[in-house]
Structure 1
Amino acid sequence: MGRLTWESIPEKYQPLKNRLNIIISSRMKSDDDSNKGGYLIYPSLEKAIQDLEIDLQIFRIFIIGGSKLYEEAINSTSCKYILLTKIYKEFKCDRFFPQIDENVYSLVDHLELEKFVGETVPQGKQLDSDIEYEFLMYKRIK
């Protein structure tokens, strides 16, 4: 996640539980607290991916924001899949997920999504209060 995404998480929930939290930031620096606190800080997405794959043997990495990091990730050849929750409602905001290039990524069928995540995923549009959403997965084809 980017620094602003990290800072948007209330301190009592930092770091996010049951996962290694990676913060990509040119402003933040690693310190003793980060090593004890369940998160690591990297100056770039490329460096984080390199260290995670080579040193820690972690090959499934999830990007949870922000918008600049999403864009960098989906434009990286390291990104093989996009797991996306598409929300069918307009919100007043100033940050958006980048456009997915359908010449680079292809929408896969629901069974492939379930196989990838290893569990049952609700299919089609879902409704929570007045918000419709759908779970989708794209696979890199180029």
Structure 2
Amino acid sequence: MSREASSLLRQAQAPLQRLQDGPIRAFQGRGTDWLLQTMPAAGPSLVTASAGNFGQGLAHAAAKRGRKAIVFAATNANPLKIAAMQRVGAEVILHGDDFDAAKAEARRFAETKGCAFIQDGAHPAIGQWPAAGDSSQWKPLRT
């Protein structure tokens, strides 16, 4: 390989972040962390429904900021995922026979208690985190 080609290759290489090295070992942690960076520092408890990874991500991001995360999961949710959500700070409430029932109850709970309901995929900021880099330097992507 020529020096010029080698130099271009080195310049083109983007930094990579191994998700398995992150606190929850899933990409959902990056999206939820970025979402909370775009929200006011103080506020009501955060409520979501999750079968695992999104709930872990939201709980971890909330705990880093001194916020409370309440995650609703179906009564038949994977016990290992429930334990993982609790380990990173989530209060887990089991409700209903499936995810849709848990989500409906989470939404009802949030409205009744004045909490912020965070639905996976419904907040644009969740999907706007950069592909690599330090989360303290994340900037929204332009569409």
- With normalisation by structure 2, the TM-score equals 0.27
Higher relative contact order (CA 8 A, sep 6+): 2
Higher helix proportion, which one?
2
Higher strand proportion, which one?
1
Greater gyration radius:
2
